[in-house]
Structure 1
Amino acid sequence: MTKELPHHAQVVSRGGSRALLRLAVHFDALMSNPTRYLRGLWWKLCGKRLRARLTIAPLLGISSRAYRLWLSREAEANRIEASPRRNAPPIIALVRNGPGEEATLASLAAEGIEARLAPTCPDATLLALLRHAQGTWVLPMYGGDLLAAGAGEALCKALVETADTTQIIYADDDLLGKNGQRCDPHFKPDWNAELCQHFDYLAGTALVRLSKIDLNASLADDWPADLARRAAERNTAQGGQPLHVREVLYHRNVRPEPQRPAPLVIGSEECGRLPSVSVIIPTRNRVDLLQTCLDGLTATKYPGQLEIIVIDNGSDDPETLCYLASLAPDFVRVLTDSGPFNFAALNNRAVSGASGDLLCFLNNDIEITDPHWLSVMVHQAMRADVGAVGAQLLYPDGRIQHAGVVLGIGGGAAHAHRLLKPDDAGYFHRHALPQFVSAVTAGCLVVRRSSFLAVGGFDAENFAVSFNDVDLCLKLNARGWQSLYEPRAQLVHHESVSRGFDRDPAGAKRQAAELAMLRSRWGVREPRPEDNWRTWQADPFHHPALSPVSEQFVVRT
C-alpha cells in the first residue's frame, strides 16, 4: 500500500518538467555569479569533477528554485510506503488554537493521529488534556501547521525504534508559502544543546514523552515550546539526547526566529577565577604580521595570567630576527625551532614547556580587533562538557573565513559559512550563533591543557600541516569534550599569508596523504553525484540533505 501526496505536499513544476526546472536553477546560478559559474564549467571540462562541484554547488543551492528541484527529485524517487503500526505507543496531538486549525486537524486525521484542540494559553482545560494524555506521547502543534504525508508512519517507526530513555523526537520542517507552495526548508542538525539556546528548532515539530513534572509545574504561555524545552532538558539530564528524524515531517506557517546572542559579559567574580593561559604562536619571517598579532595581545584585556610563547621556525629575515631579539622576556618567550615546518610538532613541543592551565593556539597572521576575545573563549573552554573552542575569523575584507568546521564537505573537512558577511542571514543565522560543531580551526583555538594532553596533543606524524586541528577536535569529541564555535570572539585572519599555499609537488603529495589519513581514521569519503542523501554519513551538526560540496549550507541539488 502506498500513500499519495496530498495537495499541500505535492510538487508541481509549473514552468514545465523537472529538466526545465533544473535548467532554471542553473540559469539562476549563472546570473548570480557568472565568473564563478563559468570557472566551474571550465574545471568540469578539464576533468576536475570535484573541484567543479565545489565551485558551482553553492550557486545552485541559493537559487529560489533549488528546493522545488529537490522536492521534484524526491517525488520521482520515492513513494511513501505505509507500514503497520504494530507495537507503536499511542500518539495524541494537541493543537493550539489558531487560524488554520481545521486544516491542521485534517492533516492529523489523514495520518491516523488522534487530535484534540487545546487553548492558546495554559488553563484548566489544557491541564485536563495533558492528564488525559498521561502515559502517551504528545505531539504539540500550532494551528495552521500541517503534518506531512507519511509523517504518521515515520513517527511511529521512530517510536518503535527509540530507546526507553528518549524523551523527545523532532524532525525537519519547511514553510507553506503562497498557494500552499512549500519553501524555506529547515534541514536541522542532530541534537545541539548549545545552538538550541539561541534558536528553538524543536517547538511545533517535536513528539514529547509526557512526564509528571509537566502536569505539576506551570507552563509558559507558549506551552508547545515549553513542553519541548522541558523534555529536551530532561533527556539531557538523564544522559541521553533528543532523537532527530531526518525527514521533513511538518509544513509550517511560521517558525521561531534565531536570536543573535547578546555580548558575553564576564562578571567580576568570574574574572577573579579565570585560569592562566599560554598563547602559542608559530612564526617564520613576516615581522609585520607577528607585530600586529602581538600588539593585539598587548591590548587584550584578560584578567588572568597570560603567557605568550612565540616559536620561531627558521626565520632568516634580518628585520624579523632583530624584532624577535628586542622582545622583552617578561612579555614574550621566544623558542627557536629551525626544523622543517610541522605545525603539529611545533605546537606540541611548545606545550611541553607551557605553564598555562589553558592553551591558546594562535596563528601569527591573526589580527586582534576585540580586547575581550580571550575572556569569552576561556569562559566557554572552562565548561566540563567543552573541548576545543574556536572563534569567528574574518578575512580582511570582512567576509567570514571560519565559523566552525564541517566534516565531510568535499570529502575532507571545510570551514562552515565561508565567504558570508557576518550580518547576512545565511542559513538561519547559524554563523552568528554559539553552537557545538565537529571541529574548529587552530588558527585560533582554546583548550584545557589537561584535555589536550589526555588525547595525545596534535598528531605530528600523520597531520604535519593539514587537518591536525580537525583530528584533535575529533579526539576530544570522542572523550566527551565537544568542540564549540563562539562567534562573540571575532578576529581577522590573513589566512596562510606567511606560510603560503601548497602548490609544489611535495606539498601536494603531503596534503593528499593527510587527507587520506583523515578519511581512513574518521570515516570520511568523497561525495559522489549518485549518492543517496538518506544513506550519506553527514556531519551530525550538518545534514545529509544539504550539499556535501558547499561550505555554505544550501540544499543538495
Structure 2
Amino acid sequence: MVLPGSPGGWIVLSYTGDALAPPQRPVLRILRSVGDTQIAVLPGPAFGRGRWIGLIPADATELQLSLGAGTVLDRVARRSEAGIFLECVRRRPGNAAAAVVARAKGQARRVRDTLRGGVAVTRLKSFAGWAAERRVPFTGPVPSLAIRCVILAERGEGRGVQRTLANLGRQSHTPAETVVLWDEPPTETSGAAWDPDLTASDLLAGADALCLLEAGDELAPDGLALLAASLGNNDLAYADEIAPDGSPRLKPDWSPDLALATGYLGRAVLLSRKLVARLPALPIGPFANAVASVGIAAATACRHANHCPRPVARMSPVRDGDDRAPLLNRWLTATNASARARFQSGATDLVWPLPEPPPLLSVVIPSRDRPDLIVPACRAVLDGTDYPVIELIVVDNGSTDPAVLSFYYELTRDARVRIMSFPHPFNFSAMVNAGVAASSGQVVVLLNNDVGLRHPGWAGELVRQALRPDVGAVGAKLLFGDGKLQHAGVVVGLAGRAGHILRRRPADTPGHLGRLRVAHEVSAVTAACLAVARHKFEAVGGFDEDAFPVDFNDVDFCLRLAARDWKCVWTPAAELYHFESISRGPSTGAKRERFEREAARFTERWLSVIRHDPFYHPALSLTTFGEDLE
C-alpha cells in the first residue's frame, strides 16, 4: 500500500487486523529525497486495532505501508508538534523535559524518540483502558468443534460456579458439554466429586477438545470461538488472560521451556483429542494441583501449539499447589525426559544433566590490548570456573601493550591456553570464526574480554543447555557493573532492529510472566557470553564475517540456528558481569556509518522476524526497552 507523499510532520495511523491471521507488525518505509530510506516497525493489531504515532521527516517523498495479511488501514491523521508535546507533558512530564533538553542540543532524533516514548507508549498497569480502545469482537467462521468444559470447584464456591456456568451459556460458540467437579461430594449444586484417579482422557470424555476452568473464571463472549478457530490441526490452542488483579498475562508464541517452568498456559487453553490421546495414562492427582498437572502434561507432549494473542478470559484466583517441581518431575519421568525440576528464585526451573565425563569446553575470547580487561577475564576462566575440562583460546588482534604481551607469555605456560594471532583489520565475526576453528571442545563459549564472573558454576549451566539436541545458542544473564540488568535476552525488532529487553532494570526483575526467573526460549542472545555445540556452529557456517563484521553478527547467528530448528535459550542460572563494549568505545563518525550499513543488511535479511518475534507479544512496544504497550 502506498500513501501519498508527505511534507513531514507527526501522523497517526489506525488499522484493523484479523484475529486469525498470523501475527505480523505493519512496516512503514519512508522514502526520502536525501539520505537512506527509513523503516518503522509498527505495533501489531493484536486485539483487533492498532495505532501508531510517528514523525515523518520533512524531506520525505513517499510513504510505503505494508500492513500484512488480514490487516486494513482505517485512518491517517495529522498531529501538530505542539499537540504532541502537550500530550507528552500530561502523560510523561519527564519525557517532555528530556525532549526540551535534546532540542536545545540539536539532537533531532532524540527529540523524536523521546516524544514518541511519551505519547505512544502505555504502561502495563494502564492495560484496561488501552485494551478497551483496541479490542474488536471476533465474528469470523468457527469450525464445528465439540468442546467439553470442566469446572473445578471447592466447597463454598457455588456463586463462582454459577457465574462461570452463566458465562459459558452466553458464549458465541457454546460448549457441547459442561461438567462441574467438586473437591468434595457436591452439596451446593449439581456436579460430581473429584476422583484423584481421573486421567486427562477421563476429563475429555470423547469430546473434540477440553477446556479446564476453575470456579469464577469468565471468558469473553467470543472466547471459546476464538480458541476453537485457533485450534485447527494443532495439539493445543491458547490465548492471553486477565489475572484476578486485572493485570494482563500476555503470552509468547509456543515456548515449551517457559510453559513447563512457569505454567504460563493457564486456563485459556484448548487441548485437542489427539494431544490427550498421547498423554501418559497417569492419574492427574490431587484436586488442588489439577490445573497445573494437566498443563504440565500438555506441555510435555505438545508438538504444535497455536497462540491467539488476545485476552479471552478473566481468571479467578489460582489455588494450584505451591510446589510445581514434584508435578513437573512426575510428568517428565512419564515422558522419558532427562530434565529434572528445581526451585530457583521463587519459580520452578528445569535442570538438564551433564554427561559423565563432561565434554571439553572451549572458551574463545577475542581481544586487543587492555590488560585491565583481558587479565581478569582469563584468570576468571582458568582459576574462577569450576567446570573440570576447559581450554582457553585468546584471539589477539594486534596487541602492542607490553603488559598484555607479558601476560600472554605467562599464559602460554598453561597447557589449557592458546594465544592465536589475528593480524587483520578488526572483524569480530572473523575473530570468532578463527578462534572456534582453532579450538577442540565439543561445546564452545564465546566470551568478551569485558566480562567478569559472578559465580564459578556459570560454564556448567551453559553447557548443560547447549548439549540439548533441540537447542542452538545459549545466553547468560549479564549485569552492568552497578548490578543492573544488561542482558536478559534479545528481542528482534526492539528499537527497529534488535535490542536487549529490560536494560537497566534491577537484577532481580522477574519479567512479565516471571520469565526472567527461569531458563526460557528467546530469539537471540548476545555473543558477549554465548554457548553453542561445535557441530551446530559449523552447520550454519559460524558468524557471517562478510555481512556483519562488527554488529548484529550474534543475532544473525542465532536466527540462522533457529532456521535449522535449533532454538535459542537464555538462562539466569549463569550470571556474569558485562561492562558492554568498553574496549571498543561508542560508535560515532565512520563507526556509526558502518553500524548503519550492517543494520540495513540485518533488516533486509530478517525483516520477517523483526515484524514478529515469536517470544515477544505483538502488543508490546518496540519503542522502549521495557515491557510496555503501544
TM-score band w.r.t. shorter chain: 0.7 to 0.9
Displacement of 1:474 after TM fit?
0.8
Question: Which residue in 1 is equivalent to 2:443?
Answer: 358
**In 1, Cα distance between equivalents of 2:479 and 2:462:** 16
Summarize deviations over 1:236-260 as a string: whole Å, max 9, x none.
Answer: xxxx222211111111133579989
DSSP 3-state at the match of 1:170 = strand
Structure 1, unaligned stretches of length 5 or more?
Answer: 1-8, 10-18, 178-182, 527-536
Paired amino acid for 1:94 = V
* Contact 2:124 2:248 (C-alpha < 8 Å) held by counterparts: no
- Alpha carbons 1:190, 1:243 under 8 Å: kept: yes
Question: Secondary structure of the equivalent of 1:355?
Answer: coil
Partner of 2:222: 150
Residue number in structure 2 paired with 1:519: 603
Match status 1:548 vs 2:622: yes
Is the partner of 2:206 in helix, strand or coil? Answer: coil
Tell me the residue number matched to 1:220.
285
Distance 1:127 1:173, change over 3 A: same
Preserved contact between residue 43 and residue 49 of structure 1 (Cα < 8 Å): no
Structure 1 window deviating more from structure 2 (290-299 vs 37-46): it is: 37-46
The answer (yes or no) to whether the contact 1:412–1:525 under 8 Å persists in 2 is: no
Q: Is the 8 A contact 1:277 1:356 kept in 2?
A: yes
Counterpart mapping for 1:310-329 below 5 A: 310-329=394-413
Q: Equivalents in 2 of 1:265, 1:250: separation in Å?
A: 28
Aligned runs of 1:104-253 on 2, under 5 Å? Answer: 104-111=164-171, 112-114=173-175, 115-120=178-183, 122-123=194-195, 130=202, 133-159=205-231, 162-163=232-233, 166-177=234-245, 183-210=246-273, 211-212=276-277, 216-221=281-286, 222-235=289-302, 240-253=303-316
Once the two structures are TM-superposed, the CA of residue 326 in structure 1 deviates from its matched residue by 3.0
Q: 2:125 aligns to what?
A: 64
Distance apart, 1:551 and its partner CA: 2.2
Give the structure 1 partner of residue 592 of structure 2. 508
Instruction: Give the 3 Å change call, closer, same or farther, for CA 302–92 of structure 1 in structure 2.
Output: same
- The within-5 A match list for 1:448-463 is 448-463=533-548
Instruction: Quickly say closer, same or farther: Cα 1:156–1:241, change in 2 above 3 A.
Output: closer
Structure whose residues are more often helix by fraction? 1
How far apart in 1 are the matches of 2:550 and 2:451? 18
Percent identity for Structure 1 against Structure 2: 31
Give me the whole-angstrom Cα distance separating, in 1, the residues matched to 2:203 and 2:575: 48
Gap runs ≥5 in structure 2: 1-46, 48-78, 184-192, 325-341
Deviation at 1:467, TM superposition (A): 0.7
Structure 1 contact 393–401 (Cα < 8 Å) conserved: yes
Deviations 1:283-310 (A, max 9, x none): 1121011111112113334444211111
2:528 corresponds to: 443
Give the match for residue 408 of structure 1: 493
TM-score (norm 1): 0.82
* Shift in alpha-carbon separation, 1:452–1:490, aligned structure 2, 3 A: same
> Is 2:432 the partner of 1:375?
no
Q: Does 1:82 align with 2:139?
A: yes
Match of 1:262 in 2: 344
Aligned to 2:36: none
In structure 1, the residue matched to 2:108 is 46
Conservation of the 8 A alpha-carbon contact between 2:491 and 2:499 = yes
Distance 1:247 1:209 in 2: 20
**Alpha-carbon distance in structure 2 between the residues aligned to 1:129 and 1:322:** 69
- Pairing 1:269-418 to 2, within 5 Å after superposition: 270=354, 272-329=356-413, 330-418=415-503
Alignment partner of 1:96 is 2:152: yes
Aligned residues: 506
The whole-number CA distance in structure 1 between the counterparts of 2:428 and 2:552 is 10
Give per-residue Cα distances to partners, 1:469-499, cap 9 Å, x unaligned. Answer: 0111111111121111011100000111111
8 Å contact 2:489–2:501 — kept in the other structure? yes
Moved more, 168-177 or 339-348: 168-177
Partners of 1:131 and 1:322 in 2: how far apart? Answer: 70
CA, structure 1 residues 43+471, in 2 after alignment: closer, same or farther (shift >3 Å)? farther
Q: Relative to structure 1, is the Cα distance of residues 419 and 131 closer, same or farther in structure 2, using a 3 angstrom cutoff? A: closer
Q: What's the CA shift for 1:49? A: 6.8
Provide closer, same or farther for how the CA distance between residues 229 and 189 of structure 1 changes in structure 2, counting only shifts above 3 A: same
Q: How far apart, CA to CA, are the structure 1 residues paired with 2:405 and 2:626?
A: 41
- Tell me which moved more, 22-31 or 199-208: 22-31
Q: In structure 2, what is the equivalent of residue 426 of structure 1?
A: 511
CA contact (8 A) 2:147 2:207 kept: no
Tell me the distance in 2 between the aligned counterparts of 1:43 and 1:156: 55
Contact 1:146 1:252 in 2 (8 A): yes
**SS class of match (1:333):** strand
Q: What SS does the corresponding residue of 2:560 show, helix, strand or coil?
A: helix
In structure 2, how many angstroms separate the alpha carbons of the residues matched to 1:456 and 1:427?
34
What is the CA–CA distance in structure 2 between the aligned matches of 1:393 and 1:485, rounded to whole Å?
10
Pick which of 90-99 and 363-372 moved more: 90-99
Structure with higher strand content: 2
Q: CA deviation at 1:48?
A: 4.9
Moved more, 93-102 or 216-225: 216-225
Q: TM-score, normalised by structure 2?
A: 0.73
* Distance in 2, Cα, partners of 1:205 & 1:44: 50
Q: Tell me if the contact between 1:403 and 1:485 (Cα under 8 Å) persists in the aligned partners.
A: yes
Change (3 A) 1:127 1:302: closer
Amino acid at match of 1:209: S
Cα distance change, pair 53–29 in 1 and its aligned pair in 2 (3 A): closer
Q: Structure 2 CA distance, aligned partners of 1:90 and 1:427?
A: 33
One-letter amino acid matched to 2:516? H
C-alpha separation in 2, matches of 1:480 and 1:132 = 32
Q: Shift of residue 333 of structure 1?
A: 1.5
CA–CA distance in structure 2, aligned partners of residues 41 and 430 of structure 1: 38
For 1:339-393, what per-residue CA distance to the aligned partner results, in whole angstroms no more than 9, with x for missing partners? 2111001111122211111111100000112111001111111111111111000
Asked if 1 retains the 8 angstrom alpha-carbon contact of 2:362 and 2:441, the reply is yes
Q: How far off its partner does 1:525 sit?
A: 8.5
